[in-house]
Amino acid sequence: MAFTTEQEAIMDSIVARYPRKRSAIMPLLHFVQSIYGYVTKDGIEKIAEKIEVEAAEVTAVSTFYTQYKSEPVGEYHVGVCINTLCAVMGGDAIYDSVSDHLGIGNHETTKDGKVSLEKIECNAACDYAPVVMVNWEFFDNQTPQSVRNLVDAARAGNPPAPTRGPKTLRTWKQNSEVLAGLSDGLSGEGVSAGPATLLGLKIAKEGGSK
């Protein structure tokens, strides 16, 4: 899998952001995923070449963080939070429902390549439990039926907008490019922190705290 001249130029620009080249490992891994959909062996070797480290060091990072995938995932990667609060609020039921609906299990992808599924330990959004993330975008206060509807719409090419963030749900590769630090121009769209997140601040202000 050869990288194009343009892709290599983008990788060089990512490396140039940092005073130490090795600091660019994580965004470069996201950039490789934006091209291939997962972290390839050739991608690891290219990153190692760009930042002048051993390929084993890049592999160590790519296998430590769960956002990096060693196998292709779906165009829409669905992460269902099954940690304590989400589980109590229905996360386990959501996972079981969507798994049965799609006919796939944890870390598996539908045959059409459209949707993959993952159990997530925490989406860091307990105030909107149960939460599902698709390509790392939030879908709050979900139910088994709403998630089945979500994946059906995604497979049909018409996914709903995230609850918070951009008004359009972008693909796995497109969001990987954003995580690499390449702007999609959508950072100002939508709500970033909703009422539940800001409730504590509201109460503090009403009580006279600064």
Exposure letters 38-68 (e unless 16+ CB within 10 A, then b): bbbeebbebbbebbebeeeebbebbeeeeeb
Q: CA–CA separation, 177 vs 190, rounded Å?
A: 20
The CATH topology of domain 5-64 is Arc Repressor Mutant, subunit A (1.10.10)
> Do the domains spanning 5-64 and 76-171 agree at the CATH topology level?
no
Q: Is the predicted pLDDT of residue 198 greater than 90, yes or no?
A: no
pLDDT of 170 over the 90 cut:
yes
Per-residue pLDDT tens for 72-93? 999 999 999 999 999 999 999 9
Confidence of residue 209 (pLDDT cuts 50, 70, 90): low
Has residue 114 got a pLDDT over 80? Answer: yes
Mean pLDDT of 188-197: 81
State the pLDDT at residue 192. Answer: 76
How is the chain split into domains, by residue range? 5-64, 76-171
**133 half-sphere exposure, CB direction, 13 A CA radius:** 20
Q: How confident is the model at residue 194 (pLDDT cuts 50, 70, 90)?
A: confident
Q: DSSP E strands: which ranges in the chain? A: 76-81, 108-109, 115-120, 132-134, 137-139
Among the CATH numbers 3.40.190.10, 3.40.640.10, 3.30.420.10, 3.40.30.10, which is that of 76-171?
3.40.30.10
Q: What is the pLDDT of residue 1?
A: 67
What pLDDT is stored for residue 184 in this prediction? 86
pTM listed for this prediction: 0.91
Tokens 């609020």 sit on residue: 89
Mean pLDDT of the region 36-55: 97
What per-residue confidence (pLDDT) applies to 36?
Answer: 96
Average pLDDT of the chain? 94
**pLDDT score at 2:** 84
Q: Higher pLDDT residue, 171 or 165?
A: 171
Instruction: Specify whether the CB–CB gap between 104 and 117 falls below 8 A.
Output: yes
Residue 210 reports pLDDT greater than 80: no
Give the pLDDT of residue 49.
97
